[in-house]
Structure formats: structure tokens, C-alpha cells
Chains A and B, each alone.
Chain A
Amino acid sequence: MFFYYLRMAKISMVKHWGLSLLMILAIGLGIGAAMTTITVNYMMSANPIPHKSNQLFNVQLDSWDVNEPYFDDGRPPAQLTYRDAMALMDARKAMRQTVQSQANAVIEPEGDDSIPFQVSARANSADFFTMFDVPFIYGGPWTRQADESKEQVVVINSEINQRVFGGENSVGQTLKIAGFYYKVVGVIDYWNPLPRFYDISTGAFNETEEIFVPFSMIAEEKINRSGNTNCWKPSGDGFEAFLNSECVWTQFWVELPDNQAWQEYNDFLTAYVQQQKAIGRFERPLNNRLLNVMQWLESMEVVEDDAVMMMAMSLMFLLVCLLNTVGLLLAKFLGKSGEIGIRQALGASRRDLFYQYLVESGCIGVAGGLLGLLFAYLGLQGIDSLYGEMTRGLTELDATLVLSAIALAILSSLAAGLYPTWQASKVQPSQQLKSQ
């Protein structure tokens, strides 16, 4: 019977092609718009490290000015001061911990004719790579000992490896970075968590860095730190004074395997702040945060207002398209009440009729859904061309999204078709057969 209904749907759609086209177009546009904005939101709110996002925690301490909060809503600063980060690092109370900051440097490759070039860098401690599951092609992370003894070691990404070493296994080679020689210990594969959760102070959707060096290189003044710096109190002159200042510019993450570990670490943070209060720092009320990846992204409002607003708009747009479809389907099906009466007289039950017209609605839905996918694809291309590299990685349709687009299309057109179909199957046969 299903194929019979399909054929009937086809006949009916061809017969009223203008109306069918209008409905398919409306659903297509609605789905297209909705999917475009949903994709961007979905990508912005994606879990960048799903298998362990519940074990990685960002540390926030409220070292800010007693007179005014860092954020208007009372959230503590998004970053830590150097001295607090170092104190937490030295305590080593978590299973793994990493302190980090963005940096930049110039690489001078060997050879007389080679041209120096600028790279984005990250200064971090050894656990960074294990904590965030950074994939290596060659070698691996440096050791904690390397951190402590301030060794000049570097992990580079595959592009830099290609550019400087021609893509070969470069572990053990040296690289001149910002005037100092570093030993390559590892080469990482393509790695691109979205959002780039480990440091959103410099853009949640930026690319990962090209090279990674030990965090101590900053204090040694062997590499230039960059990124976001916020101060509430003037620091003294000189770099030493800056390091000891109340300026926040480091990101601090810990890995805690379970609830108990979380509890213990949280207690440790409380104790740390209490102890600092005793020496006159941390004048604000106790306001530590130890948020896991998703909580952290949520509290930092990584999903942009524009994206949320667009999604709201496009969902309303979809609603208009669906109302449009409900109206047109209703008109179409009621226009068929004569046929419905005849079919009932010839032995069709209400259920048969309901099914038949649901198939017709479904056909329109599937056609609309496919068209919607096309529109979503075009819409994402459009967003790409409007925003340029600013939407890097946010505008790709994956299988989940394609499937949910089709599901959304069919569901919404069935929802749109339900009322008209129900009305159609309620037609009184005797009324219809008489008046022709």
C-alpha cells in the first residue's frame, strides 16, 4: 500500500505543482535557515574533548580589586596571576596540572638563504600534552624534569616541521627560536579542538599554536609572551616586578580523575586563598571556581550573542514556513474532500486515508528536507564568505547534522501535515458524495 500511496502522492503533487513547489520551497528555506544557524551554534557549543571533558578543570581564583569585581556579574578573573599559577604548579596537588600563556617568536632556520619567520607559540608545562590528548607524529612531550631544569626544548606542529625540516622526523634536531637554540622533542599531528578551550582569552575559535616551549622560557625572558593581560593595580618597574604583580595573564588547568579528587583540590584552593589572605592578598570574598571544560565554556559565554540571536530568528523563520505549509496543505486536502468521500465509499477506512495523506505530507517533507540541506550548504558557504576566516571550522556539516536536518525536515513537515491530514480523514462521505 505504501507504494500505492507514494504514487498517489506523486500524481497529486504533479497535478498541483505550483502549490507543491511553494510548500517544498517554504520547508526547504525554513530548514536551510535553521540548519545553517544551528550548525554554527552546534560548532560553537561543541565539546572539544568529549572523552575527558569531565576530568579537566580550569582554575579561577578571585585575586581582583576589592573595590570592584572582575566581571560585573561577580565571576572571578578568567586567568591567574603568575605568582598564583607558580604556587599551584609547585604544590602539584592534582594528578596533572599545566600553566600556560600565549607567546610569539621568530624562527630562524639554518642556512644562509633561509628567511626568518614569525610563529605563534604557547609556553606551557609538560603535562599540557597528556592532559589535552595532543597527538604526536614523532617523539612526545618533554618531561617534568625538563620543566624544572628549564631546558630549552620545543614541540612543533607538522606544518613547521614541514617548513623547516622537510617533514622528516626532526626529533633531536635544534631550532633557533627568538635567538636561542631549542632541541625538538616532538612533532604533533593536526590538532584543532573547537572551541580552543584551553585558552579562550585570545579567541575561542583561533587556531592552535605552531610551537610549544616550556613555560619557564617566559620568566627566563627567552620568549615573548602575548595574549591578554589585565591589571587592577600598578606593578613596579621591570619584568621581575611584573611577574610578581597582580596582573592576570596565565591559564591554569588541572586533571582530576574523580569527584573526590575534585573535592580535595577545591579544598586545597580554599586553603591556598586563606593563606594568601593572611598575607594581605585576595581581599575579595572567597570566590574560587574549578569548572570542567563544558562548564568553563558555558561560563565564558563562548557561543556568541549574534549566533544565538540568529538561531532564534531562524527558528521563527522555520515556524513561519511551517505555518505556511500547514495552511497550504489544509487548503489542498480540504480541496480533496470529494475524492476522500469517494474513497471512503469504496472501502477506505479513516486510517487508510490518514496514512495516505501522511505519506503525501511526508513526501513534501523529504523533498523540502533535501532542498533544505542544499540551502543549508549554500547558507554555510554564504556565512563563510561573509565572515572569511573568522568562522574557521564552524561551518562544516557533519553526518550528525545532515541526518538531523533530514529528520528535522520530515518531523516538521509531518507536524505540519498532521492537522490537515486529520481534518481530511474526518470528512463525512455522505456529505461529499451528494454535492458535486
Chain B
Amino acid sequence: MLSMTNISKVFQTDEIQTHALRDFSLQVNEGDFVSVTGPSGSGKTTFLNIAGLLETFTSGSFLLDDINVSGLNDKQRSRFRNEKIGFIFQSFNLIPDLNLFDNVDVPLRYLGLKGKERKERIEHHLDMVGLASRMKHLPSQLSGGQQQRVAIARALATHPRFLLADEPTGNLDTHMAQSVMSLLEDINTKGTTIIMVTHDNELAKRASRKIQIKDGRVSELDKVIDHDIDVSPQAIA
């Protein structure tokens, strides 16, 4: 259902060109749980952004649900993201001015659901991540792990068929990381396709499929075990 062939992405800045992805080809099937590892700067986030239609690519072809993505305009792309894709970010990316309820509400609004249905879904998903009682709290009043759980609730509330997670556990302790991972496995067994970028080898192993990105190219890791995985946490931007 996700099929990338010979994708390349070049960032053109003032003087230098950065080849974030080159000749990148990948096939992901419905129900896969793919973990993505690779050294810092290898192009993992770039890949995820392109997969999530947040960014365009320079050349190659990308089919999502058999639809050629490069032909879509902004409106169609937003619709696609809204209906089919859920995002979880390393830095949570909750909207600071909105309380938890309203944060989860955001994608549902763009989905155009009725008020009652939205309310049900929000309550159900916040309940699922154990935060139903904190609905009126602002993100700044939560811990990092709790924020990440809200972000997951928000990503799942639209019932996406794709879940893209960029280091969802990067800012969490081991215990928290474990429980987030279990949550993702749970969702995967219910049929959601997941692509997760992580630096944690242990977590990566629990995925049904492992790939590694190096210098903008992909290599399947099912058999090969890589030795030089960079496990240092993301630098504080």
C-alpha cells in the first residue's frame, strides 16, 4: 500500500545541495510494523515527512494506496493526511494554547465529524491512553510521557490506516518507552500500518520488519544486524 521507487530528495540551500534521500525504494504492506533505524542525518525524518505528505520529493515515484502522490494539490494532500495518516513526533507537538480535549479535537474538526461523534472519539482515545480525567488540562501541565500519550491519542482518533512515528520514545524513560511501544503494538495488531523511526535497538527489534537508512539509501535489516547505530539522543534544537 506504500510504494516508493527511486525517490530522491535534494535540499537546495544557498550554496550547498544536500542529498537527504537518493534512489530510495521501499515497499510497505498493509498491517506491517516497520522500524527505521540509521545514523543521525541519514534521512530518516526526511523519509517520514515524504511518506506523510508533509514534504515533496525531488524525483522518483511514490504511490500511496495506489494513488500517485506527486499529482495531488495542497487540498488533496491535506485530506489524505487527515483521513489516512496519523503522526507522532519526538517532540510531541501539542498545541500549547489548547487543552487536551481541544488538541485531540483538531484533526476531527478537519475530518468534518459531527459534535457528538467527535466527543465520543476524543473521550474514548484519551481514556485509552489513561488521561480522560485530565481533559481540561493544558499540555504544559503534563509530563513528557503524558504529552506523548496525548499525541498518540490525537494521532489515533481519526482511525488512520498509517501511523508515522518519529522517535516517539526519544524523550521518554525506559519504562515510559516500553508502555508506548506496547500501545503501538496493540494498535498494529488491530490493523494499523506503522512506520516508526527509533534509535533504540531493543524497540526496533520488536517490529515485524526492520529497515535501516544510511546516506539516504535503504537497506533491509531482517537478516543483517548493523553495528554502528547511533543511540545518542537528539540534540536539543
B192 within 8 A of A: no
Q: Which of B93, B102, B107, B154 has the most CB of A within 10 A?
A: B93
Q: Are B110 and A346 in contact (CB under 8 A)?
A: yes
Q: With an 8 A cutoff between CB atoms, is B136 at the interface? A: no
Do A435 and B237 have beta carbons less than 8 Å apart? yes
Q: Nearest chain-A residue to B112 (Cβ)?
A: A1
In this assembly, does B83 line the interface, its C-beta being within 8 Å of a C-beta of chain A?
yes
Residue A343 interfacial (CB < 8 Å): yes
- CB-based nearest A residue for B83: A347
A433 contacts B by Cβ under 8 Å: yes
Give A352 to B110 CA distance when docked, in angstroms.
8
Q: Are B97 and A346 in contact (CB under 8 A)?
A: no
Residues of A within 8 A of B74 (CB): 349-351
* Cβ of B158 under 8 Å from chain A: yes
Which residues of A (414-436) have their CB < 8 Å from a CB of B? 428-430, 433-436
B128 shortest CB reach to chain A, Å: 18
A244 to chain B, nearest CB (A): 85
B222 at the interface (CB under 8 A from A): no
Option from A4, A339, A349 in Cβ contact (under 8 Å) with B78:
A349
Q: Does A11 contact B (CB under 8 A)?
A: yes
Verify A434–B237 contact, CB threshold 8 A: yes
Checking A15, A339, A344 against B54 with a beta-carbon cut-off of 8 angstroms, the contacting residue is A344
Q: How far is the CB of A8 from chain B (nearest CB, A)?
A: 8
Q: Which chain B residues lie closer than 8 Å to A344 at the CB level?
A: 54, 78, 81
Instruction: List residues of chain B with CB within 8 A of the CB of A345.
Output: 52, 54, 81, 87, 93
Check: A338 CB closer than 8 A to any chain B CB.
yes
A429 neighbours in B (Cβ, 8 Å): 54-55
Q: Count the B residues whose beta carbon is within 8 Å of the partner chain — how many?
A: 32
Contact flags (1/0) for B70-93 with A, using CB distance below 8 Å?
000011011101110001010101
Q: Does the CB pair A15–B97 fall under 8 Å?
A: yes
A29 to B95 alpha-carbon distance, docked (Å): 33
- Interchain CB contact under 8 A, B106 and A11: no
- Does A390 sit at the interface, judged by CB under 8 A? no
Determine if B28 is an interface residue (Cβ-Cβ < 8 Å): no
B93 interface neighbour in A342, A349, A351, A352, Cβ under 8 Å: A342
State which of A346, A434, A435 has its C-beta within 8 Å of the C-beta of B106. A346
A348 interface contact, C-beta 8 A = yes
Which residues of A lie under 8 Å from residue B75 when comparing CB positions?
Answer: 349-351
**Is B49 an interface position by the 8 A CB rule?**
yes
Separation in Å of the B206 CB from the closest CB of chain A?
25
Interface pair B95/A342, CB less than 8 Å apart:
yes
Residues of A within 8 A of B102 (CB): 11
- Interface residue? A12 (CB, 8 A): yes
- The residues of B that contact A343 with a CB separation of less than 8 Å are 95, 106, 110
Task: Give Cα distance in the complex from A341 to B89, angstroms.
Answer: 12
Is A434 a contact partner of B110 (Cβ separation < 8 A)? no
Bound together, the chains give a CA A102 to CA B52 distance in angstroms of 84
Give Cα A430 to B47, complex, Å.
11
Q: Is the CB of B54 within 8 A of A433?
A: yes
Asked whether B97 lies within 8 Å of A347 as measured between CB atoms, the reply is: no
B93 partner residues in chain A, CB cutoff 8 A: 338, 341-342, 345, 433, 436
- Within 8 Å by CB of A346, from B49, B107, B112, lies B107
- Contacts from B to A (Cβ < 8 Å): 45, 49, 52, 54-55, 74-75, 77-79, 81-83, 87, 89, 91, 93-98, 102, 106-107, 109-112, 154, 158, 237
The 4 closest A-B pairs by CB, nearest first: A347-B82, A349-B78, A346-B107, A436-B91
> A347-B110, A436-B91 are known contacts; what are 14 more A-B pairs with Cβ within 8 Å?
A15-B97, A338-B95, A339-B95, A346-B82, A346-B87, A346-B110, A346-B154, A347-B107, A349-B74, A349-B75, A430-B54, A433-B87, A433-B91, A434-B45
